[in-house]
Structure 1
C-alpha cells in the first residue's frame, strides 16, 4: 500500500498540468463570454438597436418562406383532390353512359368515377342558379351526361394528366374533357419564382447583417484600441485579443435571432385571425404555420453564425492592424 500511494500521486501530478491547462482554457472562455455579455448589457440602447436591425433582417425572409410553404401545402392538397370532368355528346343515351362508365372505371390511371346524368345536372343547376322560371321555357335539356373522374396518384402531374386527357378524348361519345389544373400549375410556377426571390433576398439581408455586425465590432475595436495595445505589449496573442470580440458577435447574433423569433410569433398572432376568417369564407384549409422547434433552432444557429462571421471579418481586418509598434511611431 505504501508503494502504491506515491505512484498514484505521481500519476495525478503528471495529469494535473494538462487538466489545469484545460480548466484554465475553459475558464478564460467562460470569463470572456461573461465579460462580453456585460459590456452589451451596460450599453442597452446600442445593443438593442443592433438586435432590432438583425431581427428585422432575419424575420423578413423567414416569414416569407413560411408563407410560401403554407401556400405550397395548400396547393399540394388541391392537386391531390383534382378531378377530371368528362362531358359526353349531347345526343348520348343512358346505355352509352353506362358503357363509358364501365370502360373508364376499368382503367388503371383512374381510381373513382362519379356519374351525373343530364336530369341530375339540370336539377342541380335549377336549384343553384336561381333561374328556375327561365329554364321552364326550354324545349329540351341542354346539359349533357357528365362523368367525374378521380385520377390515380401516380398520374397527378403535368405529363400524366395530359396523357390521361388525350386518351379520354379519343373515346366514343366523348365531347370534351376538362382538367382544372392550369391555374394550379401557374400558381406553383409563381410560388417557385417567389421562393427563389425570397432566397435571394435572404442572402442579401444576411450580407447586410454581416456588415452591420462588422461595423459594430469595428467601432468596439476602435474604442478599446489602448487596451488592445497594452494586451499585445504584455505578450497577449492574437487569439487572446480576438476572443472577446468574437463572443460579442455571438451575443449579437443570439440576440438578433431571439428578436427575429419574437417578431415572427407576434406577426403570426396578429395575422392569424383575419387569415382564418378569409379562409373560412372561401372554405379553404389555408392557415399560417409558425416555426417548428427545428426551425427555431436553425434560426438561432444561423443568427449566431452570422454574428460570429461578421465579428471575425471585422477583427481580421482591423485588429491585425493594431500593433505595439504604433506606440513608438506616435512618440
Structure 2
C-alpha cells in the first residue's frame, strides 16, 4: 500500500495509457483502411493543398540560392587618382586582398584600361588622336560571398575613404531589386500557406464531422454509460492524425516529382548562361517538417470539429 501511495505504480499506469492510445491509433487506421477510396481521395486533396505552398517555397529557395551565387560576381571598382603610380596601385591591390570582407582583388593599370577600351569600343583610330590617356587605373575588389547588404556597404564606404581612391562604385541595384522581389514572394508563400492550412483543417474537419454523424448512435450509447469525453474523442483525433500524415507524405511526394520533372529543363537553362546550377528540392528536414505540419493540421482540424460536435450530442 505504501508503495502505491509512493507512486511506484506509475510505470503500470503509463504502460496502460500507452497501450490504450496504441490500440485506438491502429483501430482508427483500420477503420480508414476499410474505405480506401474515400480516404485516399481525402489524403490526395490534403496533399495537393500542402504541396502548393511547399512547391512555392522550393521555387523561392532556388531563386534565393541563384541570387547568392550571382552575389559572388559583385565587384567594387576603385578608380585611382591620376597621381597614383602603377607600383603603388599594384601594392595597394595586394594590401586590400588581405582586408576583412575581401575575397580577392585585381589591379588594372591605365595602359591596360586603354587597351581594353580600344579593343572593345572600336574607336581605335579616334583614340590615337588623344595626347594623354584619360582613363584611370582601377582596382577590382570582389567582396566575400554571402555577406549582408550592410556589410558590403560598410566595405564600400571604407574603401572610398582611402587616400589613393578617387571614386568607388558598386553596382548592386539589380540585386537589391531581386531581393525585394524575393521578400515579397516569401511573404506571399507565407500567406498562401496559412490560407491553405486553414483549408486543410476545414477538409479534415468536414470528413470527421461526417464520421461523427455516422456513429452518432454509438456516441450516444457511450455517453449514456458514462464514458469520459476524452475516450469518445480519441478515435476521431487519431483519424485526423492519419489523414494529416497521409496528406503530408503525399505533398512531399508531389513536390519531389514536380522538382524531378523540372530538373532537366532547369539545368539546360542554366547551361545557356554558363552555369552548372542544379534545381534543389525539399531536403529531408523540410520534408519531415511538411509531414509534421500535415499531422498538426489534421489533429487540430479534428479536435475543433470533435469538441464542437460531440458536445452537441446528448443521449435521448
Q: TM-score range by the shorter chain?
A: 0.7 to 0.9
Alpha carbons of structure 1 residues 42 and 320: separation in structure 2 relative to 1, 3 Å = same
TM-score by length of 1: 0.79
Structure 2 Cα separation of the partners of residues 67 and 258 of structure 1: 19
Provide the residue aligned with 1:157 in structure 2. Answer: 151
Structure 1 Cα separation of the partners of residues 12 and 108 of structure 2: 85
Provide the residue aligned with 2:273 in structure 1. Answer: 282
1:148 aligns with 2:140: yes
Alignment of 1:56-71 (within 5 A): 56-71=48-63
1:141-166 deviations in Å (ceiling 9; x for gaps): 77553321234669973531441464
1:99 aligns with 2:99: no
Give the Å deviation of 1:57: 1.7
1:264-320 deviations in Å (ceiling 9; x for gaps): 100110011111111121123543222222222222112111100100000011011
Match of 2:65 among 35, 51, 73: 73
TM-score by length of 2: 0.82
Give the Å deviation of 1:120: 3.5
What SS does the aligned partner of 2:226 have? coil
Contact 1:104 1:110 in 2 (8 A): no
**Looking at CA atoms only, which structure, 1 or 2, has the larger radius of gyration?**
1
What SS does the aligned partner of 2:169 have? strand
Task: Report the number of matched residues.
Answer: 306
Provide the residue aligned with 2:259 in structure 1. Answer: 268
Q: Which runs of 5+ in 1 are unaligned?
A: 1-10
1:254 aligns with 2:245: yes
Query: Alignment RMSD, CA only?
Result: 3.3
Match of 1:117 among 109, 112, 117: 109
Provide the residue aligned with 1:209 in structure 2. Answer: 200
Alpha carbons of structure 1 residues 149 and 323: separation in structure 2 relative to 1, 3 Å = same
Contact 1:70 1:286 in 2 (8 A): no
1:225-268 deviations in Å (ceiling 9; x for gaps): 11111222223221111111001000000000110010010011
1:198 aligns with 2:189: yes
Moved more, 202-211 or 289-298: 289-298
1:31 aligns with 2:23: yes
Provide the residue aligned with 1:321 in structure 2. Answer: 312
Structure 1 Cα separation of the partners of residues 276 and 150 of structure 2: 20
